Amino acid sequence: MRRLSTDRIAHHSPAPPDGPLAAVAPVKGAQRLTAVDDEASRLGLVPGMALADARAMYPALAVVDADPRADADLLAAVADWCDRYTPLVGLDPPDGLVLDITGCTHLFGGEVALLSDMVRRLDKGGYAARVAIADTVGCAWASAHHGTSSIVPLGGIRAAILPLPPAALRLEAGVAEALAQAGLKRIADLIDLPRAALAARFGVALVRRLDQALGREDEPITPRLPPPTYVVEQPFAEPIGLERDVLGTLHRLAGRLGRVLEQHGDGARVLQAALFRTDGKVYRVRLGTSAPLRDAEAVTRLFGDRLAAIGEACDPGFGFDLVRLSALVAERQSEVQSSLAGPDGAAELAHLIDRLGARFGLDRVTVPVARDTHIPEYAVAAVPAHAAVSHAVVAAPVIEQDSRAPARPIRLFERPEAIEAIAEVPDGPPVRFRWRRVLHEIAATEGPERIAMEWWRDADGHALTRDYFRAETRAGMRVWLYREGLYGRETGSPRWFVHGLFG
């Protein structure tokens, strides 16, 4: 098991001024440096120094406010970009990344080639990085932050970390200072000391970090993105930018992915196309399908719809140099389905839902599913159609059918519209109402159907009971009205609303 890791990104300001640069943030009431560039570093400035001291040493120091969120975003973007090397990319905040490149190096021509490729590309993007490859995360971290050698050979961990300062072990604040006071200035000084004594004096964390660096204790990487089940990709020496080329590439990749899926008897439920732009930006286009899918034509068409819908948001810039297609979620696909000849309505429907979902978003293609409640607006939920199959079916509450007319309107306003209504008696049915500035005379009503708010939905206790009426105007229009609040008990002047329209 080869553990592998990390690089360090020097902070970059958005508009670089001349001369040494530092980012500052208020720490415990004082402005302190949080990051310095190469030039400032050569002048002896270090993070953690008070701004006043730094200014005293070098008055022309350019200073920008630290922006931890932007740093985090940048780190995430770089992590995205590093996805081209391995799917297992973990964040090491605030400024590091951990990559598990086990089994990936041969794709790039070995460790050395991978490392130089990565450094060269990062440098081209304007990011100075220190990179190290080692068997363990701890050792790679130590080498990247404090060491000189960028590739620690197999079994060379001990030799690599011996000359490094204890801070290279990723210690908590204060521990390194305490070790220095005790005269332990290099890892070599403490590596052979009795563990119990070390733990007792400097904390268990120190021993643990030592073990992790030496590979005695396993340290898993938490990948930022879930590693996909199936991946195919196509790198390009000359970047491609035309939509036609991208789709053509996706079609070829979909063909390859389909064959791999078929070998395993799987079909993709969630697909993702990642387009790596030459300048480091990565676009990820994700699609869900309503049934396991491995047909290259169908996959290409879905991505075609999706890309057409995204349009401007996916700017090829100077082109993409890597296109990757992955099946993030795969499911068993039974062979019987695909071998059945002739039109299969269910499969066609699933495909249509996928296409509509790919273009407009899967949450826009919905099926209404009944909920067990009498509150009209909660009685139905719009469940995405592609997930509806797996959705639990709840029996709808039975609505008393006391009329020849339908009991519920076919159209319901999300926000009931306030109306002026006049009833003969305050708690009786309305006789006329004014809605959208038009006066309607009511010819017949049915009701009331009294619906009280369910107590668990009503945290404030302010929701009023509603009396619903089905009303037909003289012109024949049928509306669903309600009076909010029981007259005399809940309110003195109940308000009226239109909640829906009947067919």
Task: Compute the least distance from the CB of residue 299 to another protein, in Å.
Answer: 17
Question: Which residue number, 422 or 443, has a Cβ lying nearer to another protein?
Answer: 443
Pick between residue 369 and residue 431 the one whose CB is nearest to another protein: 369
Site for another protein in 98-117 (CB under 8 A): none
For residues 46 and 346, which CB has a smaller minimum distance to another protein in the complex? 346
171: contact with another protein by CB under 8 A: no
User: Would you call 245 exposed, middle or buried from its count of C-beta atoms within 10 A (0-12, 13-18, 19+)?
Assistant: middle
Task: Report the residue from 396, 451, 453, 486 that binds another protein according to the rule CB under 8 A.
Answer: 396
Task: Considering only residues 401 through 430, tell me which ones interact with another protein, judged by CB under 8 A.
Answer: 403-414
Q: 3 vs 499, which CB is nearer to another protein?
A: 499
Backbone angles phi, psi at 439, to 5 degrees: -90, 130
Q: Of 366, 428, 431, 463, which one interacts with another protein (CB under 8 A)?
A: 366
* Distance of alpha carbon 407 from alpha carbon 419, whole angstroms: 21
CB 131 within 8 A of CB 7: yes
- 29 or 503: CB nearest another protein: 503
Closest to another protein by CB, 126 vs 406, is 406
Residues in region 331-360 near another protein by CB under 8 A: 343, 345, 348-349, 351-353, 355-356, 359-360
Q: Give me the least distance between CB of 425 and another protein, in Å please.
A: 18
Estimate to the nearest angstrom the gap between the alpha carbon of 35 and the chain centroid. 28
Residue 354 tokens read as: 């996928």
Name residue 288's amino acid.
Answer: G
In sequence order, what are the residues at sequence separation of 6 or more whose Cβ sits closer than 8 angstroms to the Cβ of residue 271? 286, 287, 288, 289, 293, 299, 302, 303, 325, 326, 327, 328
On whether the CB atoms of residues 346 and 292 are closer than 8 A, the answer is no
Instruction: Using CB under 8 A, pick the residue from 1, 197, 395, 475 that binds another protein.
Output: 475
Minimum Å gap between C-beta 349 and another protein is 4
Task: Tell whether residue 461 is a contact of another protein (CB under 8 A).
Answer: no
CB of 446 to another protein, least distance (A): 5
Q: Considering the complex, what minimum distance in angstroms separates the CB of residue 373 from another protein?
A: 11
Q: Residue 351 CB, nearest distance to another protein (Å)?
A: 7
Query: Which residues lie closer than 8 Å to 348 by C-beta, 6 or more apart?
Result: none
CA-CA-CA-CA dihedral for 484, 485, 488, 491, to nearest 10: -90
440: β partners: 433
By CB under 8 A, tell whether 391 contacts another protein: no
Rounded least distance, CB 360 to another protein, Å:
5
Query: To the nearest whole angstrom, how small is the minimum distance from the Cβ of residue 404 to another protein?
Result: 5
65 vs 344, which CB is nearer to another protein? 344
Residue 375 in the binding site for another protein (CB under 8 A) = no
Q: Is 437 exposed, middle or buried (0-12, 13-18, 19+ CB in 10 A)?
A: exposed
Tell me the two tokens of residue 286.
């994700």
Name the minimum Å distance from CB 467 to another protein: 16
Per CB under 8 A, does 443 bind another protein?
yes
Cα separation, 305 vs 122, in Å, equals: 33
Q: How far is the CB of 399 from another protein (least distance, A)?
A: 7
The tokens for 6 are: 């990390």
- Phi, psi of 29, deg, nearest 5: 85, -5
Span interacting with another protein, options 11-19, 252-260, 266-274, 364-372, rule CB under 8 A:
364-372
Interatomic CA distance for residues 321 and 91, integer angstroms? 24
* Tokens of residue 209, six digits: 């970090």
Of the CA atoms within 13 Å of residue 68, those in its CB half-sphere come to 6
Q: Is 407 exposed, middle or buried (0-12, 13-18, 19+ CB in 10 A)?
A: middle
Q: Which two tokens stand for residue 190?
A: 């403490």
Cβ distance to another protein smaller for residue 345 or 461: 345
Supply the minimum distance, in Å, between the C-beta of residue 444 and another protein.
6
φ/ψ of residue 468, rounded to 5: -90, 140
Helix/strand/coil for 147:
coil
**Using the rule CB under 8 A, is 365 a contact of another protein?**
yes
Choice from 317, 368, 426, 488 touching another protein (CB under 8 A)? 368
Residue 295 engages another protein in binding (rule: CB under 8 A): no
Nearer to another protein, 223 or 409 (CB): 409
Which amino acid does the sequence have at 497?
Answer: F
| Cβ at position 272, least distance to another protein in Å | 23
Contacting another protein (CB under 8 A), which of 478, 484, 486, 491?
A: 478
Q: Does residue 111 contact residue 102 with C-beta atoms inside 8 Å? A: no
- Nearest alpha carbon to residue 8 among 169, 143, 176: 143
CA distance 315 to 401: 56
Find the part of the chain contacting another protein (CB under 8 A) among 106-114, 328-336, 361-369, 421-429: 361-369
Q: What are the residues binding another protein (CB under 8 A)?
A: 343, 345, 348-349, 351-353, 355-356, 359-360, 364-370, 376, 379-380, 382, 385, 396, 399, 403-414, 436, 438, 443-444, 446, 470, 472, 474-479, 500-503
